[in-house]
Chain A
Amino acid sequence: MILRPILSSLTRHKLTVMLLMLQVALTCGIVCNVAFMIEERIARMSAPSGVAEDEVVLIDSVQVDPHTNPQMRHLEDVAALRAIPGVRSAVAVDAVPFNGSDWTSSLNTQPDSDANAASASVYNGTPGELQTLGLNLIAGRDFLPGEYLPLDSAHDGAGLGKVSTVIVTRALADKLFPAGNALGKSVYPFSQPARIVGIVDHLSRPGPHDAGAEDYSALFPLLPDTAEVTYVMRTAARNRKHVLEIAKATLTRLDGNRIVRQPSTFAQLRADYFHRDRTMVGLLLAAAVALAFVTAVAIAGLAHFWVGQRRRTIGIRRAIGATRGDILRYFQTENFLIVSGGVVLGLLLAMMLNLILMQQYEVPRLPVYYLPIGAAVLWLLGQLAVLGPALRAAAVPPVVATRSM
């Protein structure tokens, strides 16, 4: 219909049209990738840790006196912490999700073989770790009291070579035994087999790992025996602050010759751990919005100048019978054509940028559905931006045609 006059008019402004297309293309390419990165980070930040996050508090203790047996110290501390009113359970552990204390060990499904090996984060703690963290046991059982051994950290955690049972996360169980029959099977941290007696739904790792491996965790019935230990307590959400204060005082009272540090709720721990991701999401979001805004300004600005330039022509068209709707549609169609050109280029650019990001920064492949969404967003943006100037163009009275400028 009216495509031909629009196209021939556009060819009169090749350079301007090309610049606008280039801008739309750059915006489309960048915004698609930025949106994808935002989604990815948000997914990472909101992944369940497996812990009853609103009810768990923790406090670190470092024993200074080298003459007390750390295990005895932990036993006494845990008993005292359990006695605090409002504390449902307490344990001493060597790591919790997001605290950065990441001990990674390879677990094999066969003795002395690397077949099917998975690298998993090792969690050790005193009896009751499952209930205290609030882990959801979906199969099997907790450790039995007789299964606990000392970690033997004086010999670099030699206990891991002697332990006979293990509880793994569902993700790790599926990775080690893809057939889904992990319960009762044995894994080999070293040459000794450890039987999988339980499977928990989720348990995030203490530090960052590759996508897909964030939940590869294994709990061992090994008692921490280092001077530095983390005490975990479970309490009602409203008592958390109060319990932490009393816990700090209790620990200092039991042994003044120690350093009590980082009393925090699990919620704080998570917030600190993902702080950088949150900042990055904020920056990415700001960049995407700013880009869209600048491009909208460009579209509106260009239309504004063109309307000014074409006032006379618009007047003539109106005088010879074009309706206001015709003029409005003319500018809308023109904008649609330019944005479409930019979008086609932009989608290619989005894929190219994604390829570069995949190589340089281990970003996954851009899902295909981002492309139509990106295109739709830019079309919408273009139509909204052009609406103001187009309405002004439609309001040009036919009488303009008869006036000389």
Chain B
Amino acid sequence: MFTYYLELALRSFKRNKALTALMVLAIALGIGASMTTLTVLHVLSGDPLPGKSQTLFVPQLDPQNMENYRAGGEPPDQVTWIDGMNLLRSKRADHQVLMTAGTVAVQPSQSNLDPFYVDARYTTADFFGMFDVPLLFGHGWSAIDDDNKARVAVITRSLNDKLFGGKDSTGQMLQLGDSGLRIVGVLDRWRPNPHFYDLATGSYAESEDVFVPLTTARDLKLGRNGSMDCWGGHTEDHLETAPCTWLQLWVQLDSSDKAATYKQYLKHYSQEQMTLGRFVRPSNVRLRDLMGWLDYQSVVPSDVQLQTWLAFGFLLVCLVNTVGLMLAKFMRRAGELGVRRALGASKRSLFAQLLVESAVIGLGGGIGGLVLAFFGLWEVRQRPSSYATLAHLDMSMLLTTFLLALGASIVAGLLPAWRACQITPALQLKSN
């Protein structure tokens, strides 16, 4: 029966070739655009550390003065050196890391390479363990190295390839400006998306190439960058004592009890700082987990969200379009359908026949949409945005596309087929 219905459907398409093609094209465009934008959105709002992200938190404190104070406002995103060091040394969390971004001039020992600048991260020792950073050679450094301002560094695989031809470079010296640092570890490929631990340096930035202990970087006066907020005038010479927030603090808390306890501790800490006279604002602390932090920071570009909404709006119009046109087409054939009913075809078989016809259109659109989605993502990858290279259709999105196409075809088919089955055969036969 199915092949017969398919034949009927194809014959019906032949009668309105252009219109059929346009209906398929419209659904294909709608699905293609929706899937392209949805995939980009899915990639951009992904979890950078699946399985680990719920144990990582960002503590926020409010050390600012009363200028521009608004009750209930959000505390700054970053911490001052004093608070960062206090919370780091108190070791109330399972792990804690304090860090900032920088840029360093690498002077290669080979004479055929010119000096070049790379992005660096100045961090304390727990960075590598907390964020599950894979190491190709060697290891990170220890808390003792942090305390001793040890002249050590960890570099990425790509920098290792460039400087040492991919060989194990641990123990070698890395020349940054006029200071030499001993390489203790080489990272394997690592690119968490988003660049969650410091969004100010680019939400989808690649990971830095050089990692240096924070204390060492300050001691060597390596150039820092990233965002910095100051208040009460720049009266201080040194960032270590300045009223400025410029460091990212992350803590690892392995259970929700620990998280609750840590939040209490943050409240106590800020009250204590108030009694000491360092804080003047009422205690205002936050402790967001990684995904909550990304949400709060609105990491996903609003343009991408808008594009997704627009694409789905378009898909909706395309579906309404198909439903309307199929309906009109079936109703136009009321006479023919009436004859089939009168000759003994049941409502069910009529319904099946019409459903096959509309499902073929929906499925054709779905397949076309999938092709267009592949093309659309290829197009996205050609763009210069920082996230462009990430736009790939993964298994779950492929499945979503398939379901979307199937759903679209059924939605587009059910209503017209059902409506056309309600025709009273006698009336149709009489009217002719």
Contact = CB atoms under 8 A, between A and B. Distances in A.
A145 B105 CA distance: 34
A34 interface: yes
Interface string A10-45: 000101100110110011001000100100000000
A115 B335 CA distance: 78
A259 B306 contact: no
Contacts, number: 128
Contact of A20 (B306, B310, B324): B324
A270 to B, nearest CB: 15
15 contacts: A26-B316, A160-B234, A259-B114, A259-B115, A284-B310, A287-B33, A290-B29, A294-B26, A294-B318, A297-B19, A304-B19, A308-B332, A360-B302, A361-B302, A361-B306
A156 interface: yes
Given A158-B234, A287-B310, A309-B332, A302 B317 contact: no
A9 interface: no
A298 B316 CA distance: 13
Given A284-B310, A291-B314, A302-B324, 18 more contacts: A19-B320, A19-B324, A27-B317, A114-B68, A190-B234, A272-B384, A295-B317, A297-B23, A301-B19, A301-B22, A302-B325, A304-B16, A304-B19, A305-B329, A305-B332, A308-B332, A309-B332, A404-B432
A16 B324 contact: yes
Most B CB contacts (10 A, CB to CB) among A16, A259, A280, A301 go to: A301
A405 B325 contact: no
B115 A257 contact: yes
B67 A114 contact: yes
A275 interface: yes
A335 B244 CA distance: 66
A4 interface: no
Contacts of A160: 234
Contacts of B317: 23, 26-27, 30, 291, 294-295
A85 interface: no
A284 B303 CA distance: 11
Interface in B293-348: 302-303, 305-307, 310-311, 313-314, 316-318, 320-321, 323-325, 327-329, 331-332, 334-335
Interface residues of A, number: 53
Contact of A283 (B230, B305, B307): B307
Contacts of B302: 360-361
A177 interface: no
A405 B116 CA distance: 84
Contacts of B132: none
Most chain B C-beta atoms within 10 Å of own C-beta, residue among A37, A160, A291:
A291
A283 B19 CA distance: 25
Nearest to B221: A66
B432 to A, nearest CB: 5
Which one of A37, A284, A294, A308 has the greatest number of beta carbons of chain B within 10 Å? A294
A280 B385 CA distance: 12
A283 B32 CA distance: 13
Nearest to B117: A259
Contacts of A308: 332
A361 B308 CA distance: 13
- Secondary structure of the B contact surface, majority rule: helix
Interface of B: 16, 19, 22-23, 26, 29, 33, 67-68, 105, 107, 114-117, 177-178, 223, 228, 230, 233-234, 237, 239, 242, 244, 302-303, 305-307, 310-311, 313-314, 316-318, 320-321, 323-325, 327-329, 331-332, 334-335, 383-385, 415, 419, 432
A13 B320 contact: no
A68 interface: no
A156 B334 CA distance: 80
A302 to B, nearest CB: 5
Nearest to B311: A287
A194 B234 CA distance: 17
B115 A276 contact: no
Interface string A387-404: 000000000000000001
A316 B37 CA distance: 52
Contacts of B318: 294
Contacts of B306: 37, 357, 361
Contacts of B432: 404-405
Given A19-B320, A259-B117, A295-B321, A302 B328 contact: yes
A128 B114 CA distance: 33
Nearest to B230: A156
A239 interface: no
A191 B316 contact: no
Given A302-B328, A405-B432, A259 B320 contact: no
